[in-house]
Amino acid sequence: MSADTPKPAAPKPAKPIEPAIKPTRAQDFPEWYQQVVRAGDLAENSEVRGCMVIKPWGCGLWEQMQQALDAMLKATGHQNAYFPLFIPLSYFEKEAAHVEGFAKECAVVTHHRLEVGPDGKMRPAPSAQLAEPLVVRPTSETIIGAAYARWVQSYRDLPILINQWANVVRWEMRPRLFLRTTEFLWQEGHTAHETEKEAQEETERMLGVYETFARDWLALPVFVGEKTESERFPGAVRTLCIEAMVQDRKAIQAGTSHYLGQNFAKASGIKFQSREGREEFAHTTSWGVTTRLIGTMVMAHADDDGLCLPPRVAPTQVVILPVAPKEDTRAAVFEAAEKLAAELRAQTWQGQPLRVHVDRRDIGGGTKSWEWIKKGCPVRIELGPRDLAQGTVAVCSRDQGARHKEFIPQADAVTGMPARLGAVQQGLYDRALAFRFEHTREIGTKEDFYAFFTAKNEKEIHGGFALAHWNGSPEVEAKIKEDLKVTIRCLPFTETTPGTCPFTGEPSPRRALWAKSY
RNA sequence: CGGGGCGUAGCUUAGCCUGGUAGAGCGCCUGGUUUGGGACCAGGAGGUCGUAGGUUCGAAUCCUAUCGCCCCGACCA
């Protein structure tokens, strides 16, 4: 705009409002994250180290995610089953890489009875020591493998396509709500196939399911690719993954799918008689996503006023806040609120009736509003006496920020709600994609690479995602990890152009995705 | 497991150095006025100061041990 162009009237300076979450993202991202989870009423730390209490709002979110993903797993031919929480210790001795990967983080059950000891306190009864300790599953390849070994005799018994929704325990050094907890919830798919080709296809198919789920339900754009050897699942031949960027520009693994080759089949004895009458080992896969996805969504979408939940997985998509200041109008307002809720519930979006809640609690209107803002409810509707008189409602879309509010005719609010939810869903995705785009760079020299990942001052954060060539050498990978704490998150399938490795000058088949990660 | 820090009411914390029997804010309860962007007034409940020893007439405070938690590192969905 040139100097002599008349300027439009400057927008009224917004009244400064304290952000609901302190510190803000810019001030202290890790602390902001903890506060968002807490303020959003998703979960809290429990008295058990590393274990969280998932509160109703967080659990409701997980249930929505489960429901959607479960349908996708069924649609790709899988069935649910359930296997034991406890795994005999000896099962872990069967696959060398696997045991090495998990041994350091296993909870082990050694007794089956308590008694009062000499000091008057309860203790595990020495007489009740287990002959073979039981490991609380950190993952179920071995115990499910043992079952598959019983179930499979012929190629006609294959494939086996099973998923389990379960909790697992990994005794991690440093737990963080949702991102890395000692106990967490997940689904783990375990399949067994006649041929490598089928198993490889399954591995890629399920990664595709995860990509779709992340994009269309969680509003998370992800990079899709394969892990390098150093980042591979213990015991796997190939590990595929989806990687998301969150708002401190770090990468987070949001889902994995492994081709296990015949490693676990050999360890567990999953063998069958082939079409040619030969005895062969099955080719197996496993794949999973966890409650970490909740943490990923928080870090990707939330703002300085709290959560912003994608409507497709929000436990409540629309909350109605009756404004009933005067005793004499209260009954009418509540009645109108319930009527509005019923009309909204009769609407569908993405093939499902809208999830609507009327918050009738008698607490201050502002407090109530902020609670739902912090919980990330996609749409809030305020309905008061003035609206009753005018036939309007005040509608607030969470993705537009905590201050957003528009007064529209009530009928429009009802008929337009599916589209509004769609807009919020799309808005979150677009914002996350734009953020990732802004912080992803193709880098061609070692100097640029190091500069990109080196903060210029204490407050500044590192660059983000770098797409850079790599000669395939684990030594280069290790050196960069040591220097910058940057690792190869994956070799994206979309990167196919050969080039030159900036670290060695050697040829590179394609660019790798480099980042700091959770 | 190595390095640093911290345990006082539901939460955040003051008091500790220099011992004298615990205070605040938020939250909670009651009543009233309020409620369209985090309300206000008045009254009230709630703590054996992480635990166990020791020193002392007397310990939240000093000493020893122990447990737990947080941060940094290695590990990791």
Per-residue model confidence (pLDDT) at position A48 = 80
Tokens of A95: 């696959």
Find out whether A42 and A125 touch, Cβ atoms under 8 Å. no
Spatial distance between the Cα atoms of A453 and A280, rounded to a whole number of angstroms: 48
Closest-lying nucleotide for A21 based on CA to C1'? B38
A15 phi and psi angles, rounded to 5 deg: -60, 125
Reported as a pLDDT band with limits 50, 70 and 90, residue A460 is: low
The reported pTM is 0.93
Nucleotide B52 C1' to residue A116 CA (A): 21
- A323 CB less than 7 Å from any atom of strand B: yes
The ranges of chain A annotated as CATH 3.30.930.10 are 29-116+123-301
Nucleotide B36 C1' to residue A382 CA (A): 8
Nucleotide B61 C1' to residue A49 CA (A): 30
CA angle A349, A351, A353 (to 5 degrees): 60
Per-residue model confidence (pLDDT) at position A6 = 35
Which one-letter amino acid corresponds to residue A360? R
Q: Is the pLDDT of residue A419 over 60?
A: yes
Closest-lying nucleotide for A389 based on CA to C1'? B36
Spatial distance between the Cα atoms of A22 and A29, rounded to a whole number of angstroms: 10
User: CB within 8 A of A507, min separation 6: which ones?
Assistant: A471, A498, A499, A500, A501
**How many C-beta atoms surround the C-beta of residue A411 within 10 A?**
12
Nearest to A190 by CA among A149, A243, A155, A134: A149
- A171 CB less than 7 Å from any atom of strand B: no
Spatial distance between the Cα atoms of A389 and A407, rounded to a whole number of angstroms: 13
The segment with the largest mean pLDDT, out of A49-58, A166-175, A230-239, A495-504, is A495-504
Residue with tokens 């806040």: A321
**Strand B nucleotides where any atom sits below 7 Å of a protein CB:** 1, 34-39, 68-77
Reported as a pLDDT band with limits 50, 70 and 90, residue A329 is: confident
User: CATH number for the A438-515 domain, one of 3.10.580.10, 3.30.110.30, 3.40.50.80, 3.40.50.1980?
Assistant: 3.30.110.30
Residue with tokens 């337009």: A416
Nucleotide B14 C1' to residue A56 CA (A): 35
Nearest to A57 by CA among A489, A454, A374: A374
CATH 3.30.930.10 describes domain A29-116+123-301: yes
CATH class held by domain A318-423: alpha beta
Nucleotide B65 C1' to residue A54 CA (A): 37
Nucleotide B24 C1' to residue A326 CA (A): 36
Residue with tokens 């994956």: A490
Spatial distance between the Cα atoms of A132 and A129, rounded to a whole number of angstroms: 9
Nearest to A205 by CA among A95, A373, A75, A71: A75
- A518 CB less than 7 Å from any atom of strand B: yes
Residue with tokens 């009753």: A388
Residues paired with residue A241 on neighbouring β-strands, in sequence order: A225, A256
DSSP A259: E
Percent of chain A with pLDDT over 70: 95
Closest-lying nucleotide for A290 based on CA to C1'? B77
Nearest to A224 by CA among A200, A238, A241, A205: A241
Per-residue model confidence (pLDDT) at position A193 = 98
The ranges of chain A annotated as CATH 3.30.110.30 are 438-515
The ranges of chain A annotated as CATH 3.40.50.800 are 318-423
Mean pLDDT of chain A: 90
Closest-lying nucleotide for A175 based on CA to C1'? B76
Residue with tokens 């499902």: A352
Q: Is the pLDDT of residue A13 over 90?
A: no
User: CB within 8 A of A295, min separation 6: which ones?
Assistant: A33, A37, A176, A177, A178, A179, A252
- A30 CB less than 7 Å from any atom of strand B: yes
Closest-lying nucleotide for A30 based on CA to C1'? B71
- A485 CB less than 7 Å from any atom of strand B: yes
Spatial distance between the Cα atoms of A41 and A58, rounded to a whole number of angstroms: 7
- A403 CB less than 7 Å from any atom of strand B: yes
